[in-house]
Amino acid sequence: MPPPPSSQQHGGQQQQQQQQRSQTLDRTLSAQRDGNNDIVEDVCPDPRLATAAAAAAALNRDSSAPPSAPTSGSNAISSYQRLVKRYRVEVAASASSVLSTLTTFPLDSVKTRMQTYRYAGFLDCVKHTYNTEKFRGFFRGVTAPMASITLVRTVSFSIYQRSKYAYCDWVKKNFGVDVMAHVSSPGNYPSLWSVATFGAAGATAGSCITVIACPFELTKLSAQVSVLLADKKNCPKPESHAIAASYQNKGTLKTLGNIIKHRGFGGLYTGFKLHLMRDTLGTATYFMTYESSKQLLTTFGGDGTHSNPFAVLVAGGLCGIVSWALIYPVDSAKSIYQRNSLMYSKGEKVESVKIRFFQRNMYRGLGVSMGRSCAVNAVFFSSFEFLKKRIKGWDH
């Protein structure tokens, strides 16, 4: 029998094996650095060495890779998108207001002229305006409503949205009725609770925006009828003609200054009570009609989404028609009173104008106003819902 190996020989074999393993590990790490990912399985028969080599290679890649930090530009875009998404109601309302106001302003100008002066009809007013003032006459005073209506609609929709949810929470807490869940559920019809809640929210928004809207609307009216005011035959007294003529051919800011000059700062709120009544009743009816008719049309159409384009278009046009039909005599009384006040100085008494429902002269220009309102709100709500949906769909 061969003699057993000595301890010295055994130690030499272990040292040789360790050197082989060390060389194998060095070759593995070198191959990993060179990008050969398959070398681990080929040269590492010992699984412990393969695991160590893979870990070392991963650590080497992580340490050599540059950190992925977002650029300042992407940060700015992300912050901008988050801000727009947070205030998407206000952003969509502002953009839609500019579009709808600009496209339908000529009809508003004709409506105001027919309310405050006598014409044979719509075509007679259009012909007279064109013959005396050309196309510029239809857009006279457009700057004031472009600014005021955009501001008023933005504030109005913001107040309405917050009031709606506040009132819905109050109803749910005190009466156990979840109005928003009922409205959002497919196949449901408007209820007394939903109509009352939307009406209350609309009335809140309307009463708040009157403070902002009254000076702008008075300025717009004075610009629209400035040429007619300057005509002597339209002045009740000779001494009032000089005041009335001073409003002619002035821009928005100069008209505003002229009102303050003749009637003081308080004159900017001439007709405020009538304006408050009109906006409170009108805005309540406006939002009640829009929300309820959109829900009805969505249910009848079998569409579970409340942003159905056809339902939004029809509901937008309908809410303008219904609200104006209800409050038109109030608006006529306001317009006549404001027109009359432009011919008087501060301290002079302006005769009050009574609101007379179902009296023919209080409904002059109603057809034009309803047509204009239908077009304005159809364009506005279609654009509003589209923009709000697009903004809401943005990725974070």
The tokens for 290 are 């829009």
If pLDDT is split at 50, 70 and 90, which confidence band does 23 have? low
Give me the pLDDT at residue 10, please: 46
Angstrom distance (rounded) from CA 168 to CA 116: 41
Q: What is the mean pLDDT of residues 125-129?
A: 90
Residue 187, burial from CB neighbour count under 10 angstroms (0-12, 13-18, 19+)? exposed
pLDDT digits (tens, 9 = 90+) for 247-269: 776 777 788 888 888 888 888 99
Percent of the chain with pLDDT over 70: 77
For residues 9 and 249, the model is more confident at: 249
pLDDT score for 26:
56
Q: Does residue 54 carry a pLDDT above 60? A: no
In the prediction, which pLDDT does 280 show?
96
Average pLDDT over residues 367-393: 86
pLDDT of residue 53: 47
Mean pLDDT of the chain: 79
Q: For every residue of the chain, which 3-state class applies, written as one string?
A: CCCCCCHHHHHHHHHHHHHHHHHHHHHHHHHHHCCCCCHHHHHCCCHHHHHHHHHHHHHHHHHHCCCCCCCHHHHHHHHHHHHHHHCHHHHHHHHHHHHHHHHHHHHHHHHHHHHHCCCCCHHHHHHHHHHHHCHHHHHCCCHHHHHHHHHHHHHHHHHHHHHHHHHHHHHHHHHCCCHHHHHHCCCCCCCHHHHHHHHHHHHHHHHHHHHHHHHHHHHHHHHHCHHHHCCHHHCCCHHHHHHHHCCCCCCHHHHHHHHHHHHCHHHHHCCHHHHHHHHHHHHHHHHHHHHHHHHHHHHHHCCCCCCCHHHHHHHHHHHHHHHHHHHHHHHHHHHHHHHHHCCCCCCCCCCCCCCCCCCHHHHCCHHHHHHHHHHHHHHHHHHHHHHHHHHHCCCC
- Are 107 and 368 in contact by the 8 Å Cβ rule? The answer is yes
Mean pLDDT to the nearest integer, 99-108: 84
What's the whole-number mean pLDDT along residues 25-54?
45
Query: For position 329, what pLDDT does the model report?
Result: 94
- As a whole number, mean pLDDT of residues 181-193 equals 89
Which of 388, 394, 183 shows the shortest CA–CA distance to 304? 183
Q: Where are the domains of the chain?
A: 90-383
pLDDT band at 76 (very low <50, low <70, confident <90, very high): low
Could you tell me if 224 and 140 are in contact, meaning their C-beta atoms sit under 8 angstroms apart? yes
What is the pTM (predicted TM-score) of this model?
Answer: 0.70
Q: What is the pLDDT of residue 33?
A: 47
Task: Output 64 or 142, whichever has higher pLDDT.
Answer: 142
The encoded tokens of residue 168 equal 């819905």
Q: Cα separation of 17 and 199, whole Å?
A: 90
Q: How confident is the model at residue 20 (pLDDT cuts 50, 70, 90)?
A: low
Higher pLDDT, 282 or 236: 282
Q: Which CATH number fits domain 90-383: 3.40.50.300, 1.10.1040.10, 1.50.40.10, 2.40.50.140?
A: 1.50.40.10
> How many Å apart are CA 298 and CA 307, to the nearest integer?
8
Confidence class for position 185, pLDDT limits 50, 70, 90? confident
Higher pLDDT pick, 92 / 63: 92
CB-CB neighbours of 391 under 10 Å: 17
- Out of 214-218, 231-235, 253-257, 315-319, the most confident range is 315-319
CA–CA separation, 253 vs 219, rounded Å?
9
Local confidence band at 138 (pLDDT 50, 70, 90 cut-offs): confident
